[in-house]
Structure 1
Amino acid sequence: MVCMTANILVIGAGPAGSAAALWAARLGHHVDLVDSASFPRDKTCGDGLTPRAMHALRELGFGEEVGSGYRNKGLKLHGFGGSTTCPWPETAFGAVGSAMRRTSFDALLCSTAADHPNVDFHPGTTATESEFTGDRLSAVTLAGTTGEWVAHPSHVIVADGVRSTFGKKLGRTWHRNHVYGIAARSYCTTPRSEEPWIHSHLELKDEKGETHPGYGWVFPLGDGYANVGCGALSTTKRPSHINTKKVLHFYASTLATEWNFGEPEKVASALLPMGGAVSNVAGRNWVLIGDAAACVNPLNGEGIDYGLETARMAATIIDAQPHADLTLVWPDALRAAYGEAFTLARSLATLLTVRRFLPLAGPLALRGPQAKLIMPAAARLMGNLVTEDDRDLVARLWKIAGRATMTDQELWSTASS
């Protein structure tokens, strides 16, 4: 067993972990980046990149290689007898989105991080044990193809995804009484793969005709395929018993003629903790970021932008405050950045799980003149595009409503129950 010392250990080399390694390395830190998988590897995801995510990628130095140049203009929302087109709004993030298979996207970020001279990348390596000296995480045992070794980092950034296997070892707890997502995705061939619009169907039905709280999506990928999937919302009080893979096949079949889809390929599913509904996300010298910290939009399951943003936040805080106790600093930083937005989004998403709400509200939102007001606002919420720099009515209402429903001390709490 070999003992090694690194300034920062990053566990997980997905978008959040690779971005954290890059930011930390560029700030002058030596980084050990580990992942249990070898890249390229797949990840259940819609593959969409909002303008907010594209902005974060530009800050990292990425450009046309993202999505191989494919770009989209916004959302087309359908359901309850109506449709509306919602271009990405002009914000500080820009108004251009993209889409890219996670096998390629994650490999791009990971390889870029691994190529940095301050980063040592260890694929096929699992963080298995933690050792504390007082309240400080002083050692992490890592098991790889060449055996076990022990890292003694000054700080640890945990970015090991929605399951957060190592995060659980540190006490991370997922609270399923808050709304969470159940999703499935596939890839379908289509001649419309270069269409510059994401399509979202807000009336998600199964083969029996029952409407479920959730939505279906078609993300053109620009490579002859579209990512086709569906997601449902659930809580312990109102659990969803939907078979997402089965509903996905039915959903794809309803669009097969319109899109000239081939049979769904590479079908995969996942559970998504969302909206900060986890506790114990930090200790004195360690933090959870991205999906591991449930930094996922409760309205649509989008998390790549938050993963990239929390990566930069964590690296910056560690660099600026190397001796700070992150136990409270990190949850406070997450709440300051996302608390109001996540609290409101969780409230709205929970409302959607009430069986009678969606059939009543859906037709009002998607049909008639009010759709031109309501649905662009919905598109902004689904695209994570309401920011502190926005001054229009939608942004003000978002913030007012967020403060009015604020219970964000529950988000990323330090208590385990």
Structure 2
Amino acid sequence: MSKIAVVGAGPAGCSAAYHLARSGHEVTLLDKHAFPKDKVCGDGISIESIQALSMMGIYPHDIRKSASEYAPIDHFFLGVSNQIAHSETTKLQAYCIPRFFFDQLLFAKAIDAGCSFLTQTVNKNDWHRQGLYDAFDTIIDARGVYAGEVNAIAIRAYWLVKRQDLSPTALAEAQIHFDRSLGVNGYGWIFPVSTQDDPIKLNVGVGVWLDEYQKRKTNIIQLFKQFIQNNETARQLLTKVISQEPPKVFPLATAKKGNKVADGKILRIGDAANLTDPLTGEGIANAVLSGFYVAQAINMSSTPDAATDNWQYLYESQFEADLRAGLRIKALRKFSFMNYLLIWLMKQNPRVAQQVSHAVAGVVPYNEVLASLKY
């Protein structure tokens, strides 16, 4: 069995460490922070993520029991700000949970599987100087977005609202609002992250792509404020807020073409490999799945060189087609009418509505959505 370093103890790193340790490898998990730790992000766990987490023995009912903050999601809303919108119910539930609780749960699973843990900072391309390259057969780079190629930026804030001021649907609905003021591909979101008590905690934020953001003469905080003031749903919700935390900014490393995820004995996964969804910014599903598949690449290989080739192959066979389809849909959205047309089609055609909503929820691959729009 191999001696493996997994650098980064987020969802991707903990998934890889868990599966490798369970396979009998000697796994050292490194992170610059001790646990529990907080992470700024969107907090959403898609249906696809739930399926991936089940391979680690993590199930929604267990999380619901242990987490002090949790919100089930079974409605998915897509809208063009102040123009047109559609909400679709899904039979399968997703959920939202603050990452403080979620990451701690995955970390505990990895440690219970037999991983050892070290608190250590590893800077980009610093493998040799810190002795890691010679000490391990394989190094899995799971350091997150800063080790990948940042190409988007997001900002989120937590709002507290009294339960009585929200509709039953709003308590279980993830809303995405396309908004041209945020750029061609920019969007805002509103969804609950804790509905167990009163008041309800909501996650409100916006995401923009750097190539569009850099053309604007303002910063991300101002764009967030503009979205809140211009979007009718967000503006009305703000009048009901009884408390709010200051917004926090975080980067995203979304999919890119021609992606290489292996370099010698360094195998990149999760955000470090730019596996975040290019449309929604959701990164948990591919992070957890990449941990599973990189473990499979190592397990099926007789040498570290073979593991390198096999991980690149598994990335291309398991991830690339859907990420490319997402990038094609993103390219279509450069036409100003496309978001409106898509939601209009959802309102007219139940099959399209289900396909698109399930794609946002992480059930239907994007290439199937593209196919459904042809008929």
Q: 1:11 touches 1:34 (CA, 8 Å); kept in 2?
A: yes
1:308 is displaced (CA, Å) by: 0.3
3-state DSSP of counterpart to 2:289: helix
Query: Residue 202 of structure 1 aligns with which residue?
Result: 178
Q: Do the aligned partners of residues 119 and 397 (structure 1) sit closer, same or farther apart at CA in structure 2, a change above 3 Å counting?
A: closer
Give TM-score scaled by structure 2 length: 0.82
Query: Residue 341 of structure 1 aligns with which residue?
Result: 322
Aligned-partner Cα distance in 1 for 2:237–2:176: 14
Q: 2:139 touches 2:266 (CA, 8 Å); kept in 1?
A: yes
3-state DSSP of counterpart to 1:225: strand
Q: Do the aligned partners of residues 60 and 335 (structure 1) sit closer, same or farther apart at CA in structure 2, a change above 3 Å counting?
A: same
Superimposed CA distance per residue, residues 179-207 of structure 1 (whole angstroms, 9 cap, x where no aligned partner) = x422111111123588111111123547x
Aligned-partner Cα distance in 1 for 2:145–2:79: 29
Q: 2:162 touches 2:242 (CA, 8 Å); kept in 1?
A: no
Query: Residue 284 of structure 1 aligns with which residue?
Result: 264
1:60 is displaced (CA, Å) by: 0.8
Superimposed CA distance per residue, residues 104-143 of structure 1 (whole angstroms, 9 cap, x where no aligned partner) = 1112211232233x21111344367323xxxxxxx8537x
Q: 1:341 touches 1:398 (CA, 8 Å); kept in 2?
A: no
Structure with a larger share of its residues in helix: 2
Q: Do the aligned partners of residues 226 and 377 (structure 1) sit closer, same or farther apart at CA in structure 2, a change above 3 Å counting?
A: same
Q: Does 1:27 align with 2:3?
A: no
Q: Does 1:155 align with 2:156?
A: no
Query: Residue 93 of structure 2 aligns with which residue?
Result: 96
Aligned-partner Cα distance in 2 for 1:363–1:155: 48
Aligned-partner Cα distance in 2 for 1:217–1:140: 41
1:270 is displaced (CA, Å) by: 2.7
Aligned-partner Cα distance in 2 for 1:262–1:6: 54
Structural mapping, 1:263-342, within 5 Å: 264-277=244-257, 279-323=259-303, 324-342=305-323
Superimposed CA distance per residue, residues 132-179 of structure 1 (whole angstroms, 9 cap, x where no aligned partner) = xxxxxxx8537xxxxxxx871111111001111xx7xxxxxx4x8xxx
1:335 is displaced (CA, Å) by: 1.3
3-state DSSP of counterpart to 1:160: coil
Amino acid at match of 1:304: I
Superimposed CA distance per residue, residues 291-342 of structure 1 (whole angstroms, 9 cap, x where no aligned partner) = 1100011111111000000000011211121414344332221111122211
Aligned-partner Cα distance in 1 for 2:222–2:287: 29
3-state DSSP of counterpart to 2:55: helix
Q: 1:278 touches 1:294 (CA, 8 Å); kept in 2?
A: no
Identity of aligned residues (%): 24
Give TM-score scaled by structure 1 length: 0.75
Structural mapping, 1:31-46, within 5 Å: 31-46=27-42
Structure 1 vs Structure 2 CA RMSD: 3.1
Query: Residue 141 of structure 1 aligns with which residue?
Result: 131
Q: 1:285 touches 1:325 (CA, 8 Å); kept in 2?
A: no
Query: Residue 190 of structure 2 aligns with which residue?
Result: 218
1:81 is displaced (CA, Å) by: 2.1
Aligned-partner Cα distance in 2 for 1:65–1:266: 31
Aligned-partner Cα distance in 1 for 2:177–2:321: 27
3-state DSSP of counterpart to 2:145: coil
Q: 2:17 touches 2:115 (CA, 8 Å); kept in 1?
A: yes
Runs of at least 5 residues in structure 1 that lack an aligned partner in the other structure: 90-94, 132-138, 143-149, 168-173, 388-393, 402-417
Q: 1:233 touches 1:240 (CA, 8 Å); kept in 2?
A: no
Q: 1:44 touches 1:270 (CA, 8 Å); kept in 2?
A: yes
1:23 is displaced (CA, Å) by: 0.8
Amino acid at match of 2:101: S
Superimposed CA distance per residue, residues 356-399 of structure 1 (whole angstroms, 9 cap, x where no aligned partner) = x22x2233333474364544333233233225xxxxxx865646
Structural mapping, 1:110-129, within 5 Å: 110-116=107-113, 118-126=114-122, 129=126
